[in-house]
Structures are given as structure tokens and as C-alpha cells.
A and B are shown apart, each in its own frame.
Chain A
Amino acid sequence: MRRWEVLIEHALRACALLSVATTAGIIAVLAVESFDFFRTASLTEFLLGTEWTPLFADQKFGVLPLVAGTLLVSSIAMAVALPMGLLSAVYLSEYAGPRVRRVLKPVLEVLAGVPTVVYGYFALLFVTPLLQQLIPSLAGFNALSPGIVMGIMILPLVSSLAEDAMRAVPNGLREASYALGATRMQTSLTVVVPAAFSGITAAFILAISRAVGETMIVAVAAGQQPRLTLDPRVPIETMTAYIVQVSLGDTPAGTLEYRTIFAVGMLLFVGTFGLNLVSTWLRDRYREEYA
């Protein structure tokens, strides 16, 4: 009986350790293939080069155009998701009654649960034609439309995490502010939001990480042309969309082109993992502040 119990505990621990093994597996797979890639291509060219043409006869491996595309779309997404998410969070946390919240929160959850390929469809076939009526020079594939749609997709994440942070602010702070004659808006903006600042920042950073790693919206609606530009009207390519493009083609395993997706993936993983760590650290801080 005793040995059986110990055996079970070991089996359970092994399952829990599988998550650590997953992280290790991700790092190992990316590192091994990237290592092979950098035996042929130069690391300096990869990080600083301004041309990305691994699928052409004249191969150039400068990743900056993909990075620029990723940052451009993510910035547009954040420009939509941050203000809207924060305002929604303030409303849900400081203004809405429990009944309104019970209706609104599940609807926001639905928004977060829509598959990203559906958002891609929406960006390409609804938002882009709509924007083209306002901006005639907008290309059929561009950074603007997927950026805006991605912002809407990320909004629920920003809103729900920021709301959690605001609701963790002790009521005593609000009451003190009201007692001094402040309105709800003044209390929200000058007391609650600053008090929840580290939690709200954590939400923002996690949202950036989500935008950087988002794939299908850009794969559908942003085009597949790596170019170093800040112009949101022309087709671009993000790091994630490039990985999809190569995966869809018939690039044989073991070739240099095939390994590029692991090198790009490594860069993507390091970037998002760094953002996630900062976000977790900030969130733990606000949990401590009011624990």
C-alpha cells in the first residue's frame, strides 16, 4: 500500500514536470535548428541586415524587415487595444453595477474566443474594403486593417486583466477620495488607476506579447512581402506570417530555407518570453502591495 502511494506521487510529479520539459523542448528544438542555420548564415547579417529574401535565388537573411512588420502591426493593435481596454476596464470596475457586469463580461469573453482565422477573414474582407473608402491609397493587403482587428481581438485581455488589477485596489482608497469630494472620474483616474499601475502595466505588456505572436490575422490580411517600412498602407510580412508562408510551401526539411523558420521562431520566442517574464514580475508586485 505504502509503495503504491509513493509510486503514484512520482507519476503525478512526472506529469507536472512535463510542463518544464515543454519549455526545455521548445528551447532545445529552436536552439538546435537555429545553430545549424547560423553555421551557414551570419548572425550579424541576420540581426542587422535590411533584406529578407531566403526563398529567392539571391538569398539574403536580414530579419529586420520581418521585425519591422511585426512591430508595425503590433503598434497599431496596441493603439486600439490600450485606450479601449483601459476605458472598458475602468467602466467595468468603477462604474458598472453587478448586473451590467454579468452581461458585459461574457460578451467580452466571446470576443476573446473567436478563432483568429475568423478575425483574418473579417480584416481582409470587411475592414480593408471599408478603410479603402476612407483611404483610397490603401493596398488590398496592408498593416493597418489587421492591426486594428488585432487590437479588437486583444481588447478583452487588456480589459479583464486591468479590471482585475483595479478591483484589487482596497476600497479604503476610493472612500477617502470620495470623502474629499472627488467625483467618480477623478477617483478612477487619480486614485484607482495609479494605485493599480503595476497591474495595468502587466496587462499591457502581456497584450504586446500576444500581438507580437499573433499569426493568422496577419497571415490572411497583411500580405507576404517583407519590407522595411513604417507605412501602414502597403503589404508587409511579420515574423509569424513568414513561418506560416514557409510551412505552407514545399520547402524540404534540412535545407537552409527550412531552418530560417526556427531562427525566426527563436527570435519570436525570446522576445515574447522576455515580455511575459516582465509581466509576471509586475503582476506579482501588485499582488504583494495589497495582499
Chain B
Amino acid sequence: MTVDAVAAARPVPEPGTTRRRVFDVGFRLVALATLCLALAALATLIYSVLADGAGRLSWEFLTSYPSRRASAAGIYPALVGSVFVIALTGAIALPVGVAAAVYLEEYGTHSRLARLIEINIANLAAVPSIIYGLLGLGLFVRMLSMGQSVLAGASTLALLVLPVVILSTREALRAVPGSLREGSYALGATKWQTIWYQVLPVALPGILTGLILALSRAIGETAPLITIGALTYVPFLPDSIWSPFTVLPIQTFNWVSRPQTAFLENAAAAIIVLLALLLSMNAVAIWLRDRVQRRRAS
């Protein structure tokens, strides 16, 4: 703004000034167009999925078992499997992730061990998800004999999202004002009492926001679950953590891999359900984040 004002106020333009300003405007437009192109790709993606799959969406589709006939097939076991696996993933990742974050943020802040763990977490966050699948296959499915169960899948996904949960929890803990801790100490509370009764309750909405965002990544994961051997055809509901399962992305992948158009429509409809699930999870996360920000502002 100020720069433009200075340029406009200059009495005699130097040679080349007009050309430079034209370039500047052109560059700005190209950069903006690039961004719009990316957004257009997103819009096209959503439109093409809706156009292909909306016709297949129905109550029957949501509550039917998979079938060899595309028109009779549904996503009931996959939907239940996804919700089951994600809930268990959260139940594993939340306590472990919060505990690790509390240690790094409140206990071992400057120790060399903490630094090592930090570097390790940053690197783990960028390991391809399919590698976690191989870890889950070797460790949970074979070594710990969990088989291709809901528990094995959830454990694998929990390891996958742990770095995200730890990082977001640390941020939430860092946002808790130090005066709160000092006040608690002044009243004679121990370190753990301070953390448990003062710090964690204040940080809770932030922690949950991070957890939901991490789980919304996990719910779309396909590769690690295929690698641990999750089934692609499941004509029953998973009834315990030891039961075999499938999830929405795997069901989608299975249908996309078939040549018949009718199955491709099923895949598109399954994607719509998956995206709707994702959207509602994100909406909850954003609502929580907004609440935190408003409370801090007031």
C-alpha cells in the first residue's frame, strides 16, 4: 500500500517504470491464477464424484452388505468398520500421544533425550503410510498374533497418527498461560497435580481439535490397512476388536478396480459418504477451535 503510494507520488517516472509495473501486475495475476487453478481442481473433483455417485446414494446403499451384483451392493460393513477402527485408533492414540506431549513440554524440555525424541517425531511424521502398514504386518499381525483384526488395524493407524497428536497437543499445552501453573504451585500442588487439575483441562479443547484432525487423516488411509491384510470382501459386521474388518476407503478401492460402470458408481457413492464423514469431523474440529479462540479473546 505505502509502496504504491510512494510510486504514485513520484513526479517524473524513471525509464522502464511502466514496464516494471506491467510485469508486476502480470506476475500477480499469474500467481493468483495458479491458486485458482488448484481450487478449480478441487471443485472439479467434488463435482465429478457427485455427478457419478449421487444417483446411487440411498438408505439401502448405506445398510446393505457387499454383493456380486453392483445394484444390490452396499457399504454397511465398511461404514461400521471405519467408525469402529477410527474410534479404537483414537482411544489408543489419545492417552499415549497426550502423555508423550506432556513429557516433552512439561518435564524433559531441555534434556538431550527430549531433543532426540523431537527429531524422531518430526521424521516419523514424514514416513510414508505404507511403511507403517509393513510395521503393522510384521509386528501386530504376525509377531503379536493379532491377525487381520480391528485391533491390529487400529494399532497401526494409532502409530501413524501419533506424531500429529503429539505435535498438536504440545501446541495446546504451550498456549496455557504460565501464571496458571505458578498459581497452582503456590497453593502447594505437586507438578502432576498441577498438570492434571489445571493444565490439561484448559488445554483439552485444543488437544481434542488436534485429535479429530489426526483421525480425519486416519479415516481416509487405505494403504497401511491393505498392507496389514484387511479384507476387501466382508459380508458381516465386526463384532469385537478381534474380528476381521474392512473400511470405506478399501471398499472404494475394491470397486474402483473393477471394470463395470455400475461398480464405479458404487465407488463414487462410497466416496461421497467418506467425504461427508470427513467434513463433519472437520466441522467439529473447527467449531472446537473457534470456541477456544473466542474464550481466549474474552
Contacts and interface: CB of A to CB of B under 8 A. Distances in A.
Contacts of A58: none
Contacts of B119: 280
Given A22-B135, A84-B34, A181-B14, A91 B28 contact: yes
B189 to A, nearest CB: 11
A243 B20 CA distance: 52
Interface string A96-139: 00000000100110110111111111101110000000000000
Interface stretch (B36-44, B68-76, B172-180, B201-209): B36-44
Contacts of A95: 28, 31-32
Interface in B192-224: 192, 216-217, 219-223
Nearest to B223: A215
Contacts of A88: 31, 34-35, 38
B154 interface: no
Contacts of B282: 113
Given A210-B126, A268-B128, A248 B99 contact: no
A120 B257 CA distance: 10
A244 B252 contact: no
Contact of B128 (A8, A25, A107, A272): A272
A19 B37 contact: no
Nearest to B125: A276
A186 B89 CA distance: 49
Interface residues on B, range: 35 or more
B192 A4 contact: yes
Contacts of A265: 130-131, 134
B252 A15 contact: no
Contacts of B114: 16
Contacts of B220: 113-118
Nearest to B104: A16
A34 B39 CA distance: 43
A113 B220 CA distance: 9
Given A16-B104, A114-B45, A206-B126, A268 B131 contact: yes
A74 to B, nearest CB: 12
Contacts of A262: 134, 138
B275 interface: yes
A291 interface: no
A225 interface: no
A213 B39 contact: no
Contact of B192 (A5, A20, A26): A5
A26 B135 contact: yes
B107 A12 contact: yes
Contacts of B221: 115
A15 B3 CA distance: 52
A5 B191 contact: yes
Contacts of B240: none
A94 to B, nearest CB: 9
Contacts of B243: none
Contacts, number: 254
Given A15-B100, A19-B163, A272 B192 contact: no
Secondary structure at the B interface, as helix, strand, loop or mixed, is helix
Contacts of A32: 138
Nearest to B52: A125
A22 B222 contact: no
A115 B249 contact: yes
Interface in B2-34: 3, 6-7, 14, 20-21, 23-24, 27-28, 30-32, 34
B21 A84 contact: no
A33 B253 CA distance: 27
A197 interface: no
Nearest to A178: B3
A221 B285 CA distance: 32
Nearest to A9: B107
A126 B41 CA distance: 11
The winner among A5, A88, A124 for most chain B CB atoms within 10 A is A88
Nearest to B2: A178
Contact of A13 (B20, B21, B107, B162): B107
A152 B38 contact: yes
Interface of B: 3, 6-7, 14, 20-21, 23-24, 27-28, 30-32, 34-35, 37-39, 41-42, 44-45, 48-49, 52, 95-97, 99-100, 102-104, 107-108, 113-114, 116-117, 119-124, 126-135, 137-139, 142, 159, 162-163, 166, 190-192, 216-217, 219-223, 226-229, 232, 249, 252-253, 256-257, 264, 267-268, 271, 274-275, 278, 282
5 contacts: A12-B103, A12-B107, A19-B121, A22-B135, A117-B256
